[in-house]
Amino acid sequence: MSGDPTVFATVLRRDLQVAMRQKSDVLMSLVFFVMVASLFPLAIGPETALLQRIAPGILWVGALLAAVLSLQRMFAGDHADGSLEQMVLSPTPLYVTVAAKTLAHWLVAGLPLVLVGPVLGLQFNLDPRSLGLLMLSLLLGTPVLSLVGGVGAALTLGVRGGGVLLALLILPLYVPVLIFGAGAVEADAAGLDPSGHLLLLGAMFVLSAFFAPWATTAALRISLE
């Protein structure tokens, strides 16, 4: 176990390097998020009050769907070249490898959504406080999308039509994150305290950070049998 931090850092660095060599795949989710968020103001028109009211839901739905688009790549490359089997057989606990790959996925697919979300919120005329809450809710919620999504990506690994099956499995589990993420911004806009929504998002993050890598590890072993 003493080498686990080194293995964690090695896997994380490797996945980030692979992602940087496949920039088109990385940018696809971000471009999708930008397109979804940008089309709504064009379709609805310049009515400020309406745009402000629907902004949290639209931005969070866009972020959620963008996260789903990137999930299949989490283990697919390693499965295709056989390195995933080597990771399973390695003396290093698979939990460590899974945790590193999940973090790499969030850094590549989740963190850009956190950074771009407030910029897109300007299209909806959100005030600085709402933009800050949006960014905070995305910062707490998008890691949950990667952690829980990793379980679905592992379960559907190598399955024909796995992308559709993955979406069907994961989207219902994403609903609470969507509700509380968008709800935090909406509650503040209504003059209510958003801290309850943020605390629930934080609780989901802590629980998923502890349990999801174990569940993903078990799902990978099942998929590779």
Give the count of alpha carbons within 13 A of 137, CB side only: 34
Count, in order, helices (H) and strands (E) of the chain.
10, 0
pTM above the 0.85 mark? yes
Domain count for the chain, please give it. Answer: 1
Give yes or no for residue 3 having a pLDDT over 70. Answer: no
pLDDT at 4: 65
Q: State which residues form the domain around 114.
A: 4-224
pLDDT digits (tens, 9 = 90+) for 119-138: 999 989 899 999 999 999 99
Mean pLDDT score, 23-31: 83
pLDDT digits (tens, 9 = 90+) for 148-203: 999 999 988 877 767 788 888 899 999 999 999 999 999 998 889 999 999 999 99
Q: Provide the residue type at 89 as one letter.
A: L
Could you tell me the CA-to-CA distances from 90 to 7, 13, 96, 105, 181 in Å, in that order?
Answer: 11, 18, 11, 21, 38
Mean pLDDT score, 5-14: 87
Look at the block and give the residue holding tokens 């996925």.
105
